[in-house]
Amino acid sequence: MLKVYAIDGIIPVVDPSAYVHPTAVLVGDVIVGPGVYIGPLASLRGDFGRIVLKAGSNVQDTCVIHGVGENDTVVEADGHIGHGAVLHGCTIERNAMVGMNAVVMDQAVIGHSSIVAAMAFVKIGLAVPPRSLVVGAPARVLRELSDAEIARKSFGTRQYQLLTRRCLQTMQAVDPLAAEEPGRARLTADLVNPSQA
């Protein structure tokens, strides 16, 4: 059962084609769009302001997203939020990625098709141009991304879009096996590779 909580009468919205892991927590003014993936132990707190996850975006394990009253916190279509990242009152534009354990602060805008490197700290109000590689703490724009780099990012996002469908179709709570069974099945490229889905 999902951990979804109303506050002040405002109930989170989850599109039926989205997948929200049962250990994730959604509070208040959270709007989860079609085909969105929300991973284990993610926390989305819309108790101060609105959080919007648009179509095909993903929020991975242990991410924290907190809304603020001044503006919506938005992950636009095909946005990709890596494991352990923190978003606070910011906008992640279409097809942009925030790397693992990165932090993006209030009123920052990550331009479309940009990549924020793992462990970066994006300060309040920073406006990142489209197609930028952002690194460091505090974060700075290092250079423009190549088409090949953006394509690799987009491939990873498509893997999470496929994972959303796989989870909706096959994820279930089970008891563990006591021992590895003979001929144990493995995950294969045809299951996880979106080019073959």
User: How far apart, in whole angstroms, are the C-alpha atoms of residue 130 and residue 174?
Assistant: 43
Q: What is the mean pLDDT of residues 160-171?
A: 94
pLDDT classification of 197: cutoffs 50, 70, 90:
very low
3-state helix/strand/coil string of the chain: CCEEECECCECCEECCCCEECCCCEEEEEEEECCCCEECCCCEEEEEEEEEEECCCCEECCCCEEECCCCCCEEECCCCEECCCCEEECCEECCCCEECCCCEECCCCEECCCCEECCCCEECCCCEECCCEEEECCCCEEEEECCHHHHHHHHHHHHHHHHHHHHHHHHCCCCCCCCCCCCCCCCCCHHHHCHHHC
User: How far apart, in whole angstroms, are the C-alpha atoms of residue 79 and residue 52?
Assistant: 11
Q: Is pLDDT at 175 greater than 50 in this prediction?
A: yes
Main-chain phi, psi angles of 138, to 5 degrees:
-75, 155
CATH number of 13-144: 2.160.10.10
- For the chain, percent of residues with pLDDT exceeding 90: 92
- For the chain, percent of residues with pLDDT exceeding 70: 99
Mean pLDDT value across the chain: 96
Sequence spans of domains, the chain? 13-144
Two structure tokens written together for 124: 């309040």
